[in-house]
Amino acid sequence: MTGAMDGHAEDRGRVYQASGDQHISEHHHHHGERGDEPAGLQGPDSVRRPAVGRPPVVLRDRAEVLDRLRSSVREGHGGEVYVLYGMGGSGKTAVAYTLFQLATGEGARVGLWVGASDRASLRAGMLAVAADRGAGDAELLAARNGLRPAADLVWQCLDRSAEPWLLVLDNADHPEILRDGSWLRTSSRGTVVVTTRRPAARWWPGAELQHIGVLPREDAARVLRDLAPHSGNEQEAARIADRLGRLPLALTLAGGFLSQQVLDPWTMETYGRRLEEGEGIELIDRGADTLSEEDPRHLVGLTWQLTLDAFEARGLPEATALLRLLSRFAPEPLPLSLLNRTEVDGALPRARCETALRALLDQSLTELVDVGERCVQSHAVLLDSVAAATPADLVPALHTTAVRLLDAGVPRVPDAGPDDPGLRLLVPHALALLRRAGDPSVSADAVALATRLATALHRKGDYLSACETARAAADLGERWLGTEHRHVLAARSRAGRALFRLGEYPSAEELLAHVHAAQERLFGAEDPDTLDSRHGLQLVLGNLGRRDEALSLLRSTVTGRRRALGPAHPLTLRSRSSLLVLLPASELAAEEDGELLSLPTECVRHLGPDHTVTLGAHHNHAWALYLLGRFDEADQEIRLVADAYRRRFGPDHPLVLSAQQLLSRTRAAQGDVSVAVDIMTDVVARRERGLGAEHPFTVAGRRLLAELSSGG
């Protein structure tokens, strides 16, 4: 982008301008501190031309918005105010510019463009509008000197305009200056369009508000291709657009950079790779036209700094503090409940969090979204910009606070239960903390948090999310902690457990065996983490048909957990319960009067009748009774377990389906084959939907169903 500057400023005036597709420009005229330059004395060079530097090459998307706006500038229409709002860089000015061209072209309207970023610019621009619409020199001089109300003069001239008009008030990010002077009014002779970052309806009574957000993926890719058509294909452009959050300003700068390269042109593939390698905001901003050092506000990295400075000036430092805290998280929905906790005090006083959040919402720096839970969501480029500009001495406290907030949102001891979409909302934020981490101690806490979150997802039956979360946490944690850190190994172990539940038995065995060996070498054979991996490994081996190896590992796990955790610990009881499944009928028969077959009673005594481990012990005990040929007892017990599971977890939870499968066996053993077939038909259908047709559990279910159906 090599176009010349269209804007200019004199004396202390400054013009911040960027060029290119989806361009946004802001003009700020600052007068002398001692009033040496009367406000409004110097007017703009033109109000008939939009002060936008280089206009968009093509305005992508926005068709629905433009159709609605275009109808307002057709013949016979007037008296309307439209407010285009959105975050900085979203293309509000580009939409207004395109409408301006339509109105002055096909609509045959007079177009009037006023920069409304500050009082002086607004006043000077509006008086220039009055002059354009017929105000005399004496009237203008009286208004400039304060001898008559300036806004009244402007609107009298607009009301008596012989031609219909479109008035654009651009960059009205301080709507109070419009209200204080009563500058924003309506007239039957024309239409007003305002661009702003301030969406609150109280600023715009009677106006129609229109949000201008990021572009759809396909259109965002086309913006890059419009500017740099020879740098890559649509797929590569779409990947870069995703990485840039489809923000028009960022896309414009990226396309500008790609189009500027002469000696060593970059491809989109190269650009995308450099973004992924962490160059981020600095690389994006290299796409801007070269400006003097004191004119940097056209950069993505600084486009929101004006608002942050305004927070400080208005006595709202907590708004900046909250935005910096949000920049530790991901650009995904973040549950509002997390911000309403005492742990937020590490970044800003909890009592001021409400005020801070309202300020961010008011400036379109974040938005409220409802995804089944009320959340706040901020744009990726904004968060990256704020994170990059956060003073280094503030980062440790912000990161620690973010970890503690998420930590408070994850169950301390994850338990089995129904699907919980709220837990999945936390996953991208837990991983974002690891990506932004720089301190090993904070990284260790973040890995432990992500692993506990993966465990919670696993217990809810969401094995895929659990696996991906644990694996990503381990990969990210290795950067700061190394491959053999306790928390990294624990995350790998959790990923292995999830792989088993996903039916990836060989991969699960390989991973768990590797982790178990490392933990045993580093921490000892009876370390709780080692024992946890050993318990998981025996599950895999048992399902691979290697019963003897699995039983040996399980017995050592029981012994180790007895010594390390005590005989009544839930994990000890869980491992002992697993013996009821793994032991053959001959050994179970020898246990007829032993403690193993009385384990459910022991679990009730230590944990209570409704504890998940207690229910699991009843489940496994019913299997043991089935193997021993005690079908009536087994049927009664598994019925109770299946009913309890269904009430707690819902009909599709893996534990429910496992209990139902055993119930079909006990029903068939008692001669009720038709009921058994109905039960297994339902189990197989649910497993196919939840796990897939080729999952080992589904395959085993189909095999059992075939046996029952054939009377085998």
> How far is residue 532 from each of residues 67, 167, 507, 516, measured CA to CA in Å?
61, 69, 18, 9
Contact between 576 and 531 (Cβ < 8 Å): no
Report the DSSP beta bridge partners of residue 369.
Answer: 375
The C-alpha atoms of residue 597 and residue 374 are separated, in whole angstroms, by: 48
Strands (E) located in 426-536: none
**Nearest to 461, CA basis, from 488, 515, 421, 427:** 421
**pTM of this prediction?**
0.76
Helix (H) or strand (E) holding 253: helix 248-260
Predicted pLDDT at 264: 73
The C-alpha atoms of residue 116 and residue 579 are separated, in whole angstroms, by: 75
The phi, psi pair for 78, rounded to 5°, reads 175, 175
Predicted pLDDT at 229: 86
Residues in the chain: 712
**CATH second-level architecture of 304-409?**
Orthogonal Bundle (1.10)
Helix (H) or strand (E) holding 643: helix 631-649
Total Cβ atoms within 10 A of residue 545: 8
Contact between 494 and 455 (Cβ < 8 Å): yes
Mark 221-249 as b/e (b = at least 16 C-beta within 10 Å): bbbbbbbbeebbeeebbbbbbebbbbbbb
Structure tokens belonging to residue 382 = 């904004």
One-letter amino acid at 310 equals A
The C-alpha atoms of residue 558 and residue 574 are separated, in whole angstroms, by: 9
Predicted pLDDT at 1: 35
Same fold: 14-211 with 632-712: no
The C-alpha atoms of residue 710 and residue 668 are separated, in whole angstroms, by: 12
> How far is residue 507 from each of residues 459, 486, 513, 557, measured CA to CA in Å?
20, 21, 10, 22
- Burial tier of 147 (Cβ tally within 10 Å: 0-12, 13-18, 19+): exposed
> Collapsing DSSP states into helix, strand and coil, what is residue 209?
strand
Write the DSSP symbol of residue 20: S
Backbone torsion region of residue 525, taken as left when φ is above 0, otherwise alpha when ψ lies between -120 and 50, otherwise beta: alpha
Q: What is the 3-state secondary structure (H, E, C) of 388-453?
A: HHCCHHHHHHHHHHHHHHHHHHCCCCCCCCCCCHHHHHHHHHHHHHHHHCCCHHHHHHHHHHHHHH
The C-alpha atoms of residue 23 and residue 112 are separated, in whole angstroms, by: 19
The C-alpha atoms of residue 531 and residue 630 are separated, in whole angstroms, by: 33
One-letter amino acid at 340 equals N
Within 8 A by CB and 6+ apart from 438, the residues are: 395, 399, 480
Classify 14-211 by CATH class: alpha beta
Total Cβ atoms within 10 A of residue 690: 16
In the chain, DSSP finds a helix count (H) and a strand count (E) of 32, 10
The C-alpha atoms of residue 55 and residue 75 are separated, in whole angstroms, by: 26
Domain ranges of the chain: 14-211, 217-275, 304-409, 566-629, 632-712
> Collapsing DSSP states into helix, strand and coil, what is residue 462?
coil
Report the DSSP beta bridge partners of residue 85.
Answer: 196, 211
Predicted pLDDT at 113: 92
The C-alpha atoms of residue 257 and residue 318 are separated, in whole angstroms, by: 35
Structure tokens belonging to residue 683 = 């189990």
Q: What is the 3-state secondary structure (H, E, C) of 325-390?
A: HHCCCCCCCEEHHHHCCHHHHHCCCHHHHHHHHHHHHHCCCCEEEECCCEEEECCHHHHHHHHHHC
The phi, psi pair for 289, rounded to 5°, reads -65, 150
Structure tokens belonging to residue 119 = 């009082």
**Nearest to 100, CA basis, from 188, 183, 170:** 170
Contact between 366 and 378 (Cβ < 8 Å): yes
Structure tokens belonging to residue 254 = 């990226």
Contact between 47 and 125 (Cβ < 8 Å): yes
**CATH homologous superfamily of domain 632-712?**
Tetratricopeptide repeat domain (1.25.40.10)
The C-alpha atoms of residue 77 and residue 193 are separated, in whole angstroms, by: 14
Contact between 8 and 25 (Cβ < 8 Å): no
Angle, CA 39 vertex, CA 5 and CA 83 arms, to 5°: 65
Angle, CA 636 vertex, CA 630 and CA 641 arms, to 5°: 120
The C-alpha atoms of residue 439 and residue 443 are separated, in whole angstroms, by: 6
**Nearest to 326, CA basis, from 382, 396, 370, 280:** 382
The C-alpha atoms of residue 154 and residue 150 are separated, in whole angstroms, by: 6
Going by DSSP bridges, is the β-strand pair 334-335/374-377 parallel, antiparallel, or unpaired? antiparallel
Which segments in the chain show pLDDT lower than 50? 1-41, 290-297
Total Cβ atoms within 10 A of residue 507: 16
